[in-house]
Structure 1
Amino acid sequence: MTRLRSLYACMTNGWPVLLALILQAPAAQAEPGAEPIHRVSSELCANCHEDIYRQWKGSMHAKSTALSDPIHGLFYQQEVGDPTAEGMVHKKSGKFPLCLYCHAPNAARDQTTKLDAHPAYTEGVNCVACHTLKTYNGIQDAEGKLRYGIKAYDLSDRLQAPIGFPRELERLKARSDDLFGGAVDAVPDQKPNPHLGEPVELDGKTIPALTMEANPRQLRTSDACMGCHDQRDNPQGVPLCQTGKEFIAGGSQVACQTCHMPVAGGFADHSMGGGHHEAMLKRSIVFDLTTKADKEKIAAQVWIRNLQPHAMPTGAPFRNLYLKLTAYDASGEVLWQNAADHPSKDDPRAYFAYGLADDQGNPAPPPTATKPGDDTRLQPHETRELNYEIPAKGVALVRGELYYNLLWPSLVEKFTQLPAELTAPVLIAVSEKSIGSE
């Protein structure tokens, strides 16, 4: 602590002293008795990483637990029970709830189910949950059984970073007669840095040592994501979430972070947009409509391309897309629709979803399904064309709309207690074509 205080104080007293302190100070671990790293709250990180913290705070990673995500919370209540109670088990298996290894990883490390017992538990997938993943070992163990969430990783008591602090060259030069050593990365107004290995004082607060090391293979590749987002099965072995499997089948060589954590303003976007992020949904699809009209009919073609290296939609199996195609007269009144009710009933080809079934082939919910149902989703990079014939009389405009839903229509009807913003369809693409007057 004394060395770091001296370092900060000498920033205005000349570069030689500053350089010697930075480059010769050995890395130190957290002080004895300090909080385990997996209990470090993201509130602590916000002291320096304000913009990143704000992005993360609005993300679904920050809202991943049964306390914060109403949809996950409903299923958790059904399958496990009270997320604020200790000693809860999965009702059918009698075991520790596997969902916590992804949705509340810091609590899972402590084998606790009382998610309000510590801030780092309630924060779900918080800063340290991702930045302590050291090595990805795959989602299958030696016997072929699935490893969920953090169980697929070796974990570290040091923070893992995409780059870290590559200063060994400066250390070598600092040992020479040239005290400046060519090091120019420090600046006089730089804040104390707890990632160098010692606690620091910042704005009257003591920030514990949070030693950081470079681990680009883990943090800059899809390995950082696959433990939770590759494949999840229900108790009957039926695949539910299977984004990683789709990603591999799509043959893409880009990392998940390329789309979900684009770099802007010098750092990666930690809002990590997905199915709850409207802008992410809108840029995931190319949507177009063409028409060819004669006196009797209008031939309309809807053209959809999935820009994603995984299925669209992906993730939770109850997410879905649907197409609404409508013909209007000159007054804006509806003359024709591809589906009077929801397309899942009236125009199944315009409904894009992953179905689950029971032994008889009837639709089934995720916990009880015994086999996959129909999968009509857009596959990775797929282009799909839907052709329609519309009566031409009186039509002035044909409009195509593509909607995204977090829940199957049956679940929307069932879960009436959910907020409207989670059950209402989100319009993610529109295309219009005016029809010439006869």
Structure 2
Amino acid sequence: MLRSLSFHAIAASALLLATVPGLARADDDPIHHVSSEVCSNCHQEIYRQWKGSMHANSTAINDPIHGVFYEMVAGSPTEEGVLHKASGKYPICLQCHAPNAALDQSTKLDAKVAYNEGVNCVACHTLKHYKGIDGEDGKLRLGMQAYERSDKLQAPLGIKDGVAQLAAAGDDLFGGAGLGADSDQKPNPHLGEPIVFGGQTIPALPMEANPRLVKSSDACMGCHDQRDNPHGVPLCQTGNEYQESLSQVNCLSCHMPIANGIADHSMGGGHSPAMLKRAVIFDVNAVKDGDTLKTTVYLKNQLPHAMPTGAPFRNLFIKLTAYDDQGEAIWENAEGHPAESDPQAYLSYALIDNEGMPAPPPAATQAGDDTRLRPHEERELVYEIPAEGVALVRGELFYNLLWPNLVKRFDHLPSDLTAPVLIAEYEQRLVELD
């Protein structure tokens, strides 16, 4: 809000809006053309958090992984008139990855700032009512299609000055001063009128309360419920997994926790090591039994959805290693990646073609094995390790954004997107050092 900004700061913000192409909004421009940079003039910390989020980088221009698949199934994200190659229709992925462009049926994502900002402020805060993803015609309606939208910003609380306005309209000696929580605000475009400073105008950005959507998982499910590929094979299934968990804790409780009085708009998920490290309880217990160490790897998914969830190519894998008293590895559950040699240690959702061979998400005709951790699932993996010379057993749990074959295929991607991330580790010492 504007209560802490000086007149000069607001005037400078107004001048910025009027001079930077793509940021100013004419009175007849739709609200979904408003850039988040407009919002940053007042909501600076929220903007900073959002700017570093995957929501802000969701388009095929800014997200390298999505960009690879988008060019495979559609084409260039900077060209107008691009169609989905298989169906000949407007690319459905833009309904979630570039929702403001989807509202205009545009595919040139650099045509407007608000297009390439992906899931920006107005994309979420103009969602009025969640209709669900199941359309009356039996087809999925995804992203913007799943919502009734408003030309007013939707907020958890809205403007709380109704009592003050009533008092001011009556015989109150003080005109309602002090009765409304927002009565001390400086000029505010959310009140429904343009603001004029130094001859420059910030157009009205009216706001209303809508806690039933903004404070619930309904704000998320249009994009994060379920998505199928053109063959009807489920890809992302987070909503179904969440329903399976029977959890009453909504998405925002984990992904937008309150800190310093505001909801965290960085919205951490599969790209956030901190979030990943909180997701799974992981330990190792080795018990000597004759010449072997009966070793149990324990995992518990603490999330109300599968781990991993979201894009189907995300996966987990476990490395279990025994070391001698010199720190040399003398046994391991798999040489290299365990996908082939120790499949129980590889947790993934497989997609296959009609011949049962691995297939990328756009081309898969059926689902393969799903070995991911189900919501709140506990799982134990048992190994027998030769006990001779073992001084320490170490377990490691890794998260990867891409299947191993895609890591090799997309070797042009940055290493921070292809390299596995260590999200849990456990060591059990069997021989004490002198």
Tell me the TM-score normalised to structure 1 length: 0.90
Root mean square deviation, CA, Å: 2.0
Aligned counterpart in structure 1 of residue 417 of structure 2, from 415, 422, 429: 422
Q: In the alignment, what sits opposite 1:396?
A: 391
User: What percent identity do the matched residue pairs reach?
Assistant: 63
Tell me the equivalent position of 2:134: 140
**Aligned AA for 1:413?**
K
Q: Which residue type is aligned with residue 167 of structure 1?
A: D
Q: 1:180: how far off?
A: 4.9
CA gap 1:424/1:264 in 2 versus in 1, 3 angstroms: same
Paired with 1:369 and 1:347, the residues of 2 have a C-alpha distance of: 24
- What secondary structure does 1:244 align onto? helix
Secondary structure at 2:348's aligned position in 1?
strand
Deviation string, structure 1 residues 281-325 (Cα, Å, up to 9, x no partner): 111111111121255111111111101100000000000000000
CA-CA distance at 1:204 after TM superposition: 9.0
**Correspondent of 1:82 among 76, 79, 94:** 76
How many residues in Structure 1 have an aligned counterpart in Structure 2?
411
What amino acid is the match of 1:153? Answer: Y
Equivalent residue for 1:153? Answer: 147
Q: Which of 359, 369, 372 is the matching residue for 1:374?
A: 369
Counterpart residue number, 1:237: 232
The answer to whether structure 1 residue 383 and structure 2 residue 378 are counterparts is: yes
Tell whether 2:181 aligns with 1:185: yes
Query: Which of the numbers 322, 326, 333 marks the counterpart of 2:321?
Result: 326
Give the CA deviation at 1:200.
Answer: 2.2
Q: Does 1:100 align with 2:94?
A: yes
Equivalent residue, structure 1, for 2:16: none
For residues 47 and 57 of structure 2, the distance between their equivalents in structure 1, rounded to whole angstroms, comes to 13
**Residues in 2 aligned to 1:381 and 1:111: alpha-carbon distance in whole angstroms:** 40
Q: Is the 8 A contact 2:319 2:338 kept in 1?
A: yes
d(CA) in 2 for partners of 1:184, 1:212: 16
Name the structure 1 match of 2:20: none
What's the CA shift string for 1:25-61, capped at 9, x where partnerless?
xxxxx99734310000000100000100000000000
Q: Per-residue deviation at 1:167?
A: 2.4
In structure 1, the partner of 2:260 is 265
Could you list the runs of 5+ residues in structure 2 that have no partner in the other structure?
Answer: 8-23
Residue identity in the other structure for 1:353: S
Which residue of 2 is the match for residue 171 of structure 1? 165
1:130 aligned counterpart, secondary structure: helix
Question: Which residue of 302, 311, 316 corresponds with 2:311?
Answer: 316
Counterparts of 1:177-256 in structure 2 under 5 Å?
Answer: 177-181=172-176, 182-183=178-179, 185-186=181-182, 190-201=185-196, 206-256=201-251
Change (3 A) 1:184 1:154: closer
Q: Following the alignment from structure 2 to structure 1, what is the Cα–Cα distance between the partners of residues 328 and 356?
A: 40
Cα distance between partner residues in 1 of 2:334 and 2:197? 61
How far apart, in 2, do the equivalents of 1:202 and 1:421 lie? 45
- The structure-2 alpha-carbon separation of the partners of 1:422 and 1:346, relative to structure 1 and needing over 3 Å to count, comes to same
- 1:253: how far off? 1.0
Instruction: Give, in whole Å, the separation in 2 of the partners of 1:187 and 1:166.
Output: 9
Q: Equivalent residue for 1:307?
A: 302
Deviation for aligned residue 1:114: 0.4
Q: Any idea what the Cα deviations from partners look like across 1:196-250, whole Å, max 9, x if unmatched?
A: 1122257996432110000011111110000000000000100001100111111
Relative to structure 1, the CA distance from residue 121 to residue 31 in structure 2 (aligned partners, 3 Å threshold; closer, same or farther) is closer
1:125-182, CA deviations, whole angstroms, 9 ceiling, x for partnerless residues? 0000000000000001112210010000011111001111232222223323332535
Take 2:377 and 2:160, find their aligned partners in 1: how far apart are those partners? Answer: 42
Unmatched segments (≥5 aa) in structure 1: 10-29
1:361 to 356, 364, 375: 356
* Distance in structure 1 (CA, Å) of the matches to 2:259 and 2:198: 28
Cα offsets for 1:316-351 (capped at 9, x unmatched) = 000000000011111111010011121111110011
What is the distance in 1 between the residues matched to 2:86 and 2:143?
20
State the alpha-carbon separation in 1 of the partners of residues 408 and 66 from structure 2.
Answer: 17
2: CA distance, partners of 1:184 / 1:163: 13
> Alpha carbons of 1:129 and 1:203: their partners in 2 closer, same or farther (altered >3 Å)?
farther
Q: Is this contact kept in 2: 1:293–1:435, CA < 8 A?
A: no
Indicate the SS of the match to 2:32.
Answer: helix
Distance 1:289 1:417 in 2: 36
Normalising by structure 2, report the TM-score. Answer: 0.91
Work out whether 1:412 is the aligned partner of 2:422.
no
Quickly say closer, same or farther: Cα 1:155–1:331, change in 2 above 3 A: same
